[in-house]
Structure 1
Amino acid sequence: MTSTKSTRASREASYREKALKMYPWVCGRCAREFDGKRIGELTVHHRDHNHDNNPEDGSNWELLCLYCHDNEHSRYTDQQYFTESSTATPQTGKATHKAFADLASLLKNKDADS
C-alpha cells in the first residue's frame, strides 16, 4: 500500500510542479492570487476528473484554491449521485393536463355573450 501512495504522491508532485510553472498563481474560479507563502492553498484540478490524464500541455489542468477545488468536487459528486437513473432523484409523473387547451373557445364564447 505504501508503494501505491508514494507512486501517487510522486505523480501528483510532477504534474503540480508543471502546472505551477505553466499557469499564473491565480485560482481559476474565484481569481484569488497566491504568493510563495500561500502557494500550498492552490491545487491542481483535473477538468475531466481523471487524475491519470496528465497531458504535457496541461490542457486537463486548472489551478484552483482549496475552497473552489472542494466545491468543484462536491458539485461533480452531486451530479453523479443525482442522475435520472438514480434512486435518490425524486421520480415524479409527467403532467398530462393541459390547462389552456380550450382557452380560445372559452374566450370566443365570452365575446359572444357580451
Structure 2
Amino acid sequence: MSPAKTFEQVRAEQLEYNARRESGYRERALKLFPWICGRCAREFDRRNLSELTVHHVDHNHDNNPSDGSNWELLCLYCHDEEHSKFEAYVRYGSTKESRASAATHNPFAGLKAKMEGKD
C-alpha cells in the first residue's frame, strides 16, 4: 500500500494538470471563440460547457494552429453529425453531382381532362 499523499503533493499535481490542460487546444479554443455551437447556435455557460466540443475542420487532430483556424466549437449533437457525414463521405464518396438533371415527371399531366370527366 502506498503512503498517503500530503495536501501539498496533491495540490502540486492538480496545478500541473491544470497547466497542461490550459495549454491544450480545447482550452485555447474556449478562450478564442464565443461559447456558441457553430451549427445550431445553441449557447453555453459554465454549467453545460462540457457539452461543447472542439471540432477540427480538416479532421486532423494534430493540426492545431494557434489562431484557431482549424477549430470550430460544436455541441455534442452537431459534432456527432459532422463526423457521421465525414464517415459517409469517406465510405461512399461525394453525394454532390457535377450537374443536376431537370425533372421530367409532371404529376398534373392530364388533370384537367380527368376533372372534366374526359379520359
Of all paired residues, the percent bearing the same amino acid is 67
CA gap of 1:25–1:31, structure 2 versus 1, over 3 A, is same
Note the alpha carbon deviations across 1:34-69, whole angstroms, 9 max, x for none: 010100000000000000000000000000000000
Select 2:79's aligned residue among 47, 59, 69: 69
Q: What's the TM-score once normalised by structure 2's chain length? A: 0.59
**CA RMSD of superposed structures (Å):** 1.9
Instruction: Confirm or deny that 1:57 pairs with 2:30.
Output: no
Between the aligned partners of 1:16 and 1:73, the Cα distance in structure 2 is 18
Between the aligned partners of 1:83 and 1:66, the Cα distance in structure 2 is 25
Between the aligned partners of 2:21 and 2:87, the Cα distance in structure 1 is 23
Instruction: Confirm or deny that 1:23 pairs with 2:23.
Output: no
Distance apart, 1:70 and its partner CA:
0.1
Between the aligned partners of 1:35 and 1:11, the Cα distance in structure 2 is 19
- Runs of 5+ unmatched residues, structure 1: 1-9, 85-114
Select 2:91's aligned residue among 68, 72, 81: 81
CA gap of 1:13–1:81, structure 2 versus 1, over 3 A, is farther
- Runs of 5+ unmatched residues, structure 2: 1-19, 95-119
Letter in 1 for 2:28: K
Q: How many residue pairs end up in the alignment?
A: 75
**SS of equivalent to 1:44:** strand
Distance apart, 1:11 and its partner CA:
7.5
